[in-house]
A and B are shown apart, each in its own frame.
Chain A
Amino acid sequence: MKPGEHTLTAFENFMEGIWKQNPVFVMVLGMCPTLAVTVSAINALGMGLATTFVLVFSCLLVSVIRNWVPKEVRIATYIVIIASFVTVVDYAIQALSLGLYEALGAFIQLIVVNCIILGRAEAHASKHPPLTAVVNALGMGIGFTIGLFALGGVREIFGTGTLFGISLFGPGFQPWIVMLLPPGGFFVLGGWLLLFAWWKMRKEAKDGA
């Protein structure tokens, strides 16, 4: 902490990733899985939770060993730690649901290089005690999950007319195929970004008035 900067409460620390620095809508990070796997709500949730799991445990471990690991090999250890937890998640998802595993496909493995996780480990966990690190990571993970869900939900509703596989409009629904294609991901993301920017603008206008 810089001198003069007020110490964040645990709640603020948690909310950081959900609202102020939401990885999807504010920082626009991790676009690869964001656009590729969010064709359905369940995929989005699965991906989000997997990432959250990796994020929380990596940050916990990084924070625990932060005083013990010399700075020269910091990134190397982070990658090893993150990769290990990703492998664990990979097996866990296979064991839980093969369907989800197939849907998420290569993107589980790609969590290893997800900039959100490495970024959090480097920028936050390596400098804070375990509890703070975990709370922050949890916030970030949940923020990411919410972001993915917001995309996946919309894309599933329009793309297949369902949410979590439950049909919303009956059997005659006309799927919007573009929503399941990568361009659809961009459209929905763009829409959400627009909405976020608009909210922010209005809030600032109100605060200013």
Chain B
Amino acid sequence: MSEPLPNPGAETTATTTSWRLIAALGGVALLCGVLIVTAFQSTLDPIAKNRRIALERSIFSLIPEGVSLHIYAVSAQGTTLLRPGQAMPKEAQRVYAVYDAHRHLRGLVAEAGAVGYADVVRVLYAYDPHQQAIVGFAVGAHRETPGIGDKIRTDADFQKNFVALDARLDASGQALAHPIRTVKHGSKRNPWEIDAISGATITSRAVGRGINDSASTLLPRLHPHLNNLESPP
């Protein structure tokens, strides 16, 4: 290092007054505060836009026929349309209702998450209310092992599980007729089972469990009010 060493003779010996210290810190803080607020204000809109675009892109990738979407809050009390800027009520689940060019409901997209091998695996899954089946899923942020756990994104066989994953409700309408289960690779027998990726069982199970947890509370609440969602508001 070529930095000069501090020269003891040059140091001021007089103690700095408290007032100066506060003034210096305060001044810097003020300056920085202005800086941050300016940055925040000027990026607020582009960031919101970016987020919306990213979300819409992944939602429409699950339901390719979709052209528009609306957000609903689903709780035990029923479904509520969320206008942009409106806050999400507590205890409610967010559902994106996707409509095609003819303003028909093409599907619903919800969020799910469960602990995988490394961290929580967050997925979006698409539910088709007409088939009563899960028809696709997309992985959000995750930290699963590249080449093993992240096969859930790429493994074609695994994706095939979600062409029509049975998610019918039972007779009472209070629960899924068959809980969605992840089974060992090669032993899928029923339409509500997910065939795990060989060698990436833990991540596969996380996806299945996450979707099951989410769907088993969401769908019974959603079904009585499906009519409200049939066409865009």
Residues of B whose CB lies within 8 Å of any CB of A are: 1-5, 11, 16, 20-21, 24-25, 27-29, 31-33, 35-36, 39-40, 43, 46-47, 50-51, 53-54, 141, 145-148
* Residues of A contacting B: mostly: helix
Q: Could you tell me if B146 and A180 are in contact, using CB atoms closer than 8 angstroms?
A: yes
Q: How far is the CA of A94 from the CA of B49 in the complex (A)?
A: 10
Q: Whole-angstrom distance from the CB of A12 to the nearest CB of chain B?
A: 10
* A70 interfacial contact with B, CB 8 Å: yes
A113 — which chain B residues lie within 8 A by C-beta? none
Q: Of A5, A73, A76, which contacts B2 at CB under 8 A? A: A5
Q: Could you tell me if A77 and B25 are in contact, using CB atoms closer than 8 angstroms?
A: yes
Q: Whole-angstrom distance from the CB of A78 to the nearest CB of chain B?
A: 9
B21 — which chain A residues lie within 8 A by C-beta? 70, 72-73
Q: Could you tell me if A77 and B16 are in contact, using CB atoms closer than 8 angstroms?
A: no
If the complex has contacts A73-B21, A127-B4, are A92 and B39 also in contact, measured as CB distance less than 8 A?
yes
Q: Whole-angstrom distance from the CB of B51 to the nearest CB of chain A?
A: 7
* A68 interfacial contact with B, CB 8 Å: yes
Q: Could you tell me if B147 and A177 are in contact, using CB atoms closer than 8 angstroms?
A: yes
Q: Could you tell me if B36 and A84 are in contact, using CB atoms closer than 8 angstroms?
A: yes
Q: Could you tell me if B36 and A70 are in contact, using CB atoms closer than 8 angstroms?
A: no
**Chain B: CB-nearest residue to A1:** B4
Q: Could you tell me if B36 and A124 are in contact, using CB atoms closer than 8 angstroms?
A: no
Interface mask (A93-136 → B, CB under 8 Å = 1, otherwise 0):
01111110010000000000000000000011001000000000
Q: Of A71, A76, A95, A175, which contacts B47 at CB under 8 A? A: A95
Interface contact tally, CB-CB below 8 A:
84
If the complex has contacts A84-B32, A98-B54, are A5 and B4 also in contact, measured as CB distance less than 8 A?
yes
Q: Could you tell me if B39 and A87 are in contact, using CB atoms closer than 8 angstroms?
A: yes
Q: Whole-angstrom distance from the CB of A34 to the nearest CB of chain B?
A: 18
Q: How far is the CA of A175 from the CA of B35 in the complex (A)?
A: 43
Q: What are 18 inter-chain pairs, A to B, with CB distance below 8 A?
A: A61-B31, A68-B24, A69-B24, A70-B21, A71-B16, A80-B28, A84-B35, A85-B35, A87-B40, A98-B50, A98-B51, A102-B141, A123-B3, A127-B3, A175-B146, A175-B147, A181-B145, A181-B146
* A206 interfacial contact with B, CB 8 Å: no
Q: Whole-angstrom distance from the CB of A79 to the nearest CB of chain B?
A: 10
Q: Of B24, B40, B43, B53, which contacts A73 at CB under 8 A? A: B24
Q: How far is the CA of A84 from the CA of B46 in the complex (A)?
A: 20
